[in-house]
Amino acid sequence: NAGVMQNPRHLVRRRGQEARLRCSPMKGHSHVYWYRQLPEEGLKFMVYLQKENIIDESGMPKERFSAEFPKEGPSILRIQQVVRGDSAAYFCASSPQPWSQDEAFFGQGTRLTVV
């Protein structure tokens, strides 16, 4: 049973480009959570999704950021018109129930660098 898979592991984008980060949850998990970790900072909650639904997006910046978790395929975190301040590690986690702690795992993250 593969763990939470994130790709790409590293992503370099120029200012103004779009970044797409993918997260494939563990088999049987239908709840996905995205977090961002800025350099020298803690993890900040961004968004919580179930299949085809956004449950809590209170941590998402109001502009340029969007997330989806379609019926088929991975969850996607999309950042439009990236700026240098978007450079960070983006982690997703998945669980079979709403944050079932004993069964929640993080992916290895995507490190986004904006140049």
Partner 1 sequence: RKEVEQDPGPFNVPEGATVAFNCTYSNSASQSFFWYRQDCRKEPKLLMSVYSSGNEDGRFTAQLNRASQYISLLIRDSKLSDSATYLCVVFNQAGTALIFGKGTTLSVSS
Contacts with partner 1 by CB under 8 A lie at 33, 35, 41-45, 48, 55-56, 58-59, 89, 91, 98-99, 101, 104, 106-109, 111
Apex 1 CA angle, 96 and 72, nearest 5: 60
Closest CB 16 distance from partner 1, rounded Å? 27
Instruction: Give me the amino acid identity at 28.
Output: G
Closest CB to partner 1 among residues 5, 76: 5
**How many C-beta neighbours within 10 Å does residue 20 have?**
14
Q: Which is nearer to partner 1, 17 or 45 (CB)?
A: 45
Q: Which of 17, 31, 28 is nearest to 92 (CA)?
A: 31
Shorter beta-carbon distance to partner 1: residue 15 or 44: 44
